Amino acid sequence: MTEIRMETPGNTASDGQAAGRIWRFGDNVDTDAMAPATQMKGGIEQIARHCLAGLRPEFPSAVRPGDLVVGGRHFGVGSSREQAPQALRHLGVAAVIAPSFAGLFYRNALNLGLPALVCADASRLLDGEQASLDLDGAAVVLPDGSRVPCEPIPAFLLDMLRAGGLIPHLKRRLAQQRA
C-alpha cells in the first residue's frame, strides 16, 4: 500500500494502511456543508467542528483518524474553498471516495494531501462498515477481503500525496535541487 504522510492533527495514516469506518453521504454534497460560511472566520479547528454537521450532526465529533468519507455523485460541488477538504483532513479522514467529484474540490483535496478516489462502485461501500484503503492498488478493501476498485491516481499525484500535499512536495523538490 502507498505510504501517505498525513501531517495535520488527527491523521495517522502514515503507514499507508488507513483503515476505519465508512461514512456515507449522498449526491451533490457541497463545500458549504464541509466548511460552513458561518464558521470561516474561526480557523480550521472551528470549521472542522462543524464539518458535515448539517447533514450528519454526529460526524465532527464521532469521525476518527483513518475513517473514509464516501459520497455520491458530484461530491464537493459549490464554492472553491480549500477549507472543505482541509476540514476533512483535520478531522483525520483518510480519503474521500465518490463516483464523481467537482473539479476544484478534487484538486484542492489532492493539493492538501487528502486522497480523493473516483469509484464507480462507491454504492457498495456501506455506512458504518469497516474498510481499508489501498492507494497503490486503487481499491477499498472490505472486511471479507473483497475489493471495490477505484480509478488509479496518477503516479505524479501519488508522489504529491506521499509528501503531504502540494506545498510539502514542492519544498522537498526544491531541497533536492539545492543538494
pLDDT digits (tens, 9 = 90+) for 31-55: 999 999 999 999 999 999 999 999 9
> Given this model, what pLDDT does residue 5 score?
38
What amino acid occupies position 174? L
**Structural domains of the chain ordered from first start:** 13-178 (3.20.19.10)
In the block, cell 456515507 appears at: 24
C-alpha cell at 12: 495517522
> Given this model, what pLDDT does residue 13 score?
40
Average pLDDT, integer, range 71-88: 96
> Given this model, what pLDDT does residue 99 score?
98
pTM exceeds cut of 0.85 = yes
C-alpha cell at 55: 447533514
Query: What is the number of other CB atoms lying within 10 angstroms of the CB of residue 6?
Result: 23
* pLDDT surpassing 80 at residue 10: no
Average pLDDT, integer, range 110-138: 96
Q: What is the overall mean pLDDT for the chain?
A: 91
The DSSP letter of residue 77 is B
> Given this model, what pLDDT does residue 145 score?
94
Identify which has the larger pLDDT, 151 or 19. Answer: 151
In the block, cell 455523485 appears at: 73
> E strands along the chain, which residues?
19-24, 68-70, 95-98, 116-118, 130-134, 139-141, 147-149
N- to C-terminal Cα separation, the chain: 29
CA dihedral 159, 87, 30, 50 (to 10 degrees): 170
What amino acid occupies position 166? L
Identify which has the larger pLDDT, 6 or 58. Answer: 58
State the pLDDT confidence band at 179, using cuts at 50, 70 and 90: confident
Pairing of strands 116-118, 130-134: unpaired
> Given this model, what pLDDT does residue 30 score?
97
State the pLDDT confidence band at 18, using cuts at 50, 70 and 90: confident
> Given this model, what pLDDT does residue 17 score?
58
